[in-house]
Amino acid sequence: MEKNPTYLFVAAAALMDDKGRVLVQKRPEGKPMAGLWEFPGGKVETGETPEAALVRELNEELRIDVAESSLEPVTFASEAVENQHLILLLYKCRQWSGRLESADLLDLQWLPVDALHAIPMPPADGPLVHALSMRLANPV
């Protein structure tokens, strides 16, 4: 009998500025996939909705306040990672308050969506970038 996988739910944000660029941050040294660029966000804790987790993570990581109503679901990715199964949920966000700064002094950069295809990102982020590009090219 196959063992049931342990699921790891992660919520991430495609924060978009008024020029249509998306914020990415570099994973820190000492962490898995260090040096790769990713969307800000983090783990969904027990008892949290993905939206509540993302609001919390954006405040902890970037010192910004985001209303759950400002988060628009875009897509998700599903991938086996070591002994867990990652479910990565991507939301688009254009509104927040506060001065955006990295609490952990991570490198940040604003990039056009198409430029995200050319930077090194974790494997699970590839489908997210593709779906985000498609969503922005063909808004619903």
Quick check: 14 and 93 in contact, CB under 8 A? yes
**Residue 73 CA: distances (Å) to CA of 22, 47, 83, 105, 120:** 15, 20, 27, 27, 23
E strand or H helix at 38: strand 37-38
| pLDDT score of 140 | 61
| pLDDT score of 9 | 96
Rounded to 5 degrees, what angle do the CA atoms 20, 136, 109 make? 35
What is the pTM (predicted TM-score) of this model? 0.90
| pLDDT score of 29 | 85
**What is the spatial distance between Cα 64 and Cα 58, in angstroms, rounded to a whole number?**
6
Going residue by residue through the chain, which has 140 residues, state the pLDDT in tens, using 9 for 90 and above: 356 778 999 999 999 999 999 999 998 888 888 889 999 999 999 999 999 999 999 999 999 999 999 999 999 999 887 788 999 999 999 999 999 988 876 799 999 999 999 999 998 898 999 999 988 877 66
**What is the spatial distance between Cα 113 and Cα 32, in angstroms, rounded to a whole number?**
24
